[in-house]
Structure 1
Amino acid sequence: MLANIKDITRLTAIRFVVLLGLVSLFADVTYEGARSITGPFLAVLGASGTAVGIVAGLGELLGYGLRLISGAISDRTRQYWAITIAGYTVNLFAVPLMALAGRWEIAAMLMIAERIGKAIRTPARDAMLSHATQATGRGWGFGLHEAMDQVGAVAGPLVVSAVLFLRDDYPAAFAILAIPAVLAIGALLLARWLYPRPRELEIARPQLKPQGLPRAYWLYLAGAALAAAGFADFPLIAFHFEKNGIAPQNLIPVLYAVAMGVDAVAALVFGRLFDRIGLVVLAAVTGLSALFAPLVFLGGLPAAVVGMALWGIGMGAQESILRATVAGMVHADRRGTAYGIFNTGYGVAWFLGSALMGVLYDASLSALIAFSVVVQLGAVGMFWRLRGLR
């Protein structure tokens, strides 16, 4: 009987993860489709490399930094669903509005608004997911969600690429992304109706104190911040491809789709490995993905394809393992706050790294590459220190 109860609980948890994964799939079609062309779009509207780097970095700063507030509010109010729905609404509908942007400054504001919406909804959503992944395995549960997420991240750039191929019109590419935005909100409302209390999916509660965060959490955050600082944002990479003619305009979203496809596979594979052997997996993958920078910024199209695949491997491992580890470190009552703090530190590091790499891009590609590689290798060292964590 106990075995049957566990099987039913696991099946229910998987269904919840899959349903939220479906939300993320449609959402990623929307905003990852947009992000695959925002760099070239800003370039066409007259922005400089420095402006692209700062806008991308500022978007990530707000997109991660505001999670400190939204995470704390979600834990305090327990309104996880309301906060998640509000965040997704802002996150998604900022995208089709870019079709109306005639100046790069307006497009930049909408890019930042999209990131703010993501900041509002992510800690609350991840806290709800963490309850389900207790039954499925943390790494595999978050990896499954990330894999579904990245199916959308592959489809979105391909849709945008097709529109650009057929019409060569950026506003039309942004406008068509209103369709998956509506589908994502519909799937989210269905999840809210079917699973109004996700906390009940976590039957075996971890024996952790709800007060405070452990020392390992802060060391882990330091490693994640180093990884974020050295990881170039795609708008800057796409800006480089456009400016230097590395790839035709309509092929740039395809390169992003390649990275997202690799991301999906990496999330599942490395999430499962994390459940078995711990953070040594993240240390190894971070070292491997650090090689993306010289390939995308110094090579031609073949090197760029390999570099984007390595970039996708790094993203997939980070997106599955980073969230899974936090869930296992922290009491359920503190997870919204823990995810908020973690993402704030991650986002500040991403902003500083992105802004600096934007400046370095205009000054010296060699300096940009050296910074990216060295900082990510520093992250490898931090993750290796914590390699026993699962």
Structure 2
Amino acid sequence: MAAIASRLKEIPASIWALGFVSMLMDISSEMIHALLPIYLVTVLGASTLTVGVIEGIAEATAAITKIFSGALSDWLGRRKELAALGYGLAALTKPIFPLAPDVGWLVVARFIDRVGKGIRGAPRDALVADLAPPELRGASFGLRQSLDTVGAFIGPAIAIAFMWLTADRFTTVFWVAVLPAFLALGLILFAVHEPKRPADVRVVKSPLSRAEIARLGPAFWRVVAIATAFTLARFSEAFLILKAQAVGLPIALVPGVLVLMNVVYALAAYPAGVLSDRFDRETILIAGLGLLILADGVLAFSSTIATAALGIALWGLHMGVTQGLLATLVADTAPPELRGTAYGMFNLTTGIALLAASVLAGGLWEGVGPQATFLAGAFFAIVALAGLLVAARATKS
């Protein structure tokens, strides 16, 4: 534990600042996200299939946008300005949520919000990779992921408090969520400092050209394939919220689902990153996929709030073990001058997979039931684990 804690002092200040930027924006986003599925279903009368489609489209939109913003950051040789633009756009769209009169407006709001996420995502991750010393890369991504996830459980906790204080007034919570979004924008503008581009780094003129994409190399594409398999095996956390409500959790406490998941996620992400700097990253990924299988199995058969909570906690543990690690692997395998493009490609592929997974989850929930949704997730996770084990054995032989 002492070794894990000591690494915190070595991580550059701008990475800490980026972590707090992510934390504040996640407080804002998760205050809304924690309530949005229930708001759509119980207030606006949307179906669970509609929830799945909205969530899938939202995340896929972010993923598609990331490929262009990442490539643009490589072409410009600058990351911070694009990241700040993305945070600014997300902040400006937050007031749409409390003002939206119907499902259509909420779809627009989620779409624009995710465009902002897409613009900032790849440049921000590439900036972390540029700032992090190689021996601290896993710890740096783990710290950013952990701080980001702290925001993801503070946000729902605030949502719970305001739902209780206002007798379940959704729009009041949505208005409160506007403030941290603008604080995040101010922090990235004034506290994050981008390093100078090294003189020996190649200038990229056409980052999305066939020649440049070929420079990413087979090791990078193997990471993308692994990440895609992971994403197909899981789906939007909106279905964790719906599962908790289905087993009897009161509406006012529904944001507690994301509080629980993200507490576990935040506690696991930084230690997992430190361990990945010291041990084989692939072994840690295999352990994370095993945790996802276990989480899906528990959620499929849970019938009480306690067993659903166990499954949600296991889901958060799997996220903490794997998500920062996958980002680290991209930095490990992509050329420095193409990191923005690499993160864009990575997120495009996993975003498409998340769209497919979320739509399938919504369809199974609507047509068969909640148990089928989580059993399907476990099945895809087992297939992904088998593929990862085969790939690991081929690499070592």
TM-score (norm 2): 0.88
Deviations 1:140-160 (A, max 9, x none): 110011111111111100011
Residue 246 of structure 1 aligns to a residue whose secondary structure is coil
- Give the structure 1 partner of residue 316 of structure 2: 312
Contact persistence 1:37–1:235 (CA under 8 A) = no
Residue 279 of structure 1 aligns to a residue whose secondary structure is helix
Per-residue deviation, 1:245? 5.1
C-alpha RMSD of matched pairs (Å):
2.4
1:344-355 → structure 2 map (5 Å cutoff): 344-355=348-359
Q: Distance in 2 between matches of 1:281 and 1:336?
A: 25
1:215 equivalenced with 2:215 (yes/no): no
Q: Residue 41 of structure 1: which of 24, 39, 42 is its match?
A: 39
Q: Residue 227 of structure 2: which of 224, 231, 238 is its match?
A: 224
Per-residue deviation, 1:225? 0.9
Q: Distance in 1 between matches of 2:39 and 2:293?
A: 27
Q: Measured at CA, do residues 15 and 94 of structure 1 come closer, stay the same or move farther in structure 2, by a change above 3 Å?
A: same
Q: Distance in 2 between matches of 1:296 and 1:47?
A: 23
Q: Distance in 2 between matches of 1:154 and 1:361?
A: 26
Count of residue pairs the alignment pairs up: 373
1:175-214 → structure 2 map (5 Å cutoff): 175-192=175-192, 195-197=193-195, 199=197, 212-214=215-217
Residue 290 of structure 1 aligns to a residue whose secondary structure is helix
Contact persistence 1:216–1:386 (CA under 8 A) = no
Contact persistence 1:148–1:264 (CA under 8 A) = yes
Contact persistence 2:163–2:169 (CA under 8 A) = yes
1:16 equivalenced with 2:14 (yes/no): yes
> Unmatched 5+ residue regions in structure 2?
1-7, 203-210
Q: Measured at CA, do residues 257 and 199 of structure 1 come closer, stay the same or move farther in structure 2, by a change above 3 Å?
A: farther
- Give the structure 2 partner of residue 361 of structure 1: 365
Q: Measured at CA, do residues 178 and 137 of structure 1 come closer, stay the same or move farther in structure 2, by a change above 3 Å?
A: same
Deviations 1:163-185 (A, max 9, x none): 10111100000100111112111
Contact persistence 2:265–2:316 (CA under 8 A) = yes
1:237 equivalenced with 2:240 (yes/no): yes
- Give the residue type in structure 1 aligned to 2:221: W
Q: Measured at CA, do residues 174 and 198 of structure 1 come closer, stay the same or move farther in structure 2, by a change above 3 Å?
A: farther
Q: Measured at CA, do residues 203 and 303 of structure 1 come closer, stay the same or move farther in structure 2, by a change above 3 Å?
A: farther
Q: Distance in 2 between matches of 1:311 and 1:342?
A: 22
- Give the residue type in structure 2 aligned to 1:370: L
Per-residue deviation, 1:271? 1.1
1:29 equivalenced with 2:33 (yes/no): no
Q: Distance in 2 between matches of 1:257 and 1:117?
A: 24
Residue 235 of structure 2 aligns to a residue whose secondary structure is coil
- Give the structure 2 partner of residue 286 of structure 1: 289
- Give the residue type in structure 1 aligned to 2:377: S
Q: Distance in 1 between matches of 2:17 and 2:352?
A: 31
Q: Distance in 2 between matches of 1:373 and 1:130?
A: 32
- Give the structure 1 partner of residue 273 of structure 2: 271
Deviations 1:50-96 (A, max 9, x none): 10011101111111122111111111122422211111112233233
- Give the residue type in structure 1 aligned to 2:98: A
- Give the residue type in structure 1 aligned to 2:253: L
* More displaced stretch, 216-225 vs 138-147: 216-225
Contact persistence 2:240–2:257 (CA under 8 A) = no
Q: Distance in 2 between matches of 1:12 and 1:264?
A: 20
Identity percentage over the alignment? 29
- Give the structure 2 partner of residue 144 of structure 1: 143
* More displaced stretch, 85-94 vs 117-126: 85-94
- Give the residue type in structure 1 aligned to 2:180: P
Deviations 1:248-304 (A, max 9, x none): 112111121111111111111211121122211011111112222243344220011
- Give the residue type in structure 2 aligned to 1:334: L
- Give the structure 1 partner of residue 206 of structure 2: none
- Give the residue type in structure 2 aligned to 1:228: T
Q: Distance in 2 between matches of 1:230 and 1:246?
A: 26
Q: Measured at CA, do residues 169 and 140 of structure 1 come closer, stay the same or move farther in structure 2, by a change above 3 Å?
A: same
- Give the residue type in structure 2 aligned to 1:374: F
Contact persistence 2:135–2:277 (CA under 8 A) = no
Q: Residue 376 of structure 1: which of 373, 378, 381 is its match?
A: 381
Contact persistence 1:85–1:188 (CA under 8 A) = yes
* More displaced stretch, 52-61 vs 268-277: 268-277
Per-residue deviation, 1:369? 2.4
TM-score (norm 1): 0.89
Deviations 1:100-129 (A, max 9, x none): 112122112212221121111111011110
Contact persistence 1:25–1:148 (CA under 8 A) = yes
Q: Distance in 2 between matches of 1:196 and 1:356?
A: 41
Contact persistence 1:95–1:111 (CA under 8 A) = no
Q: Measured at CA, do residues 11 and 188 of structure 1 come closer, stay the same or move farther in structure 2, by a change above 3 Å?
A: same
Q: Distance in 1 between matches of 2:306 and 2:364?
A: 24
* More displaced stretch, 87-96 vs 108-117: 87-96
Contact persistence 2:64–2:348 (CA under 8 A) = yes
Q: Distance in 2 between matches of 1:199 and 1:292?
A: 43
Q: Distance in 1 between matches of 2:219 and 2:263?
A: 32
> Unmatched 5+ residue regions in structure 1?
1-9
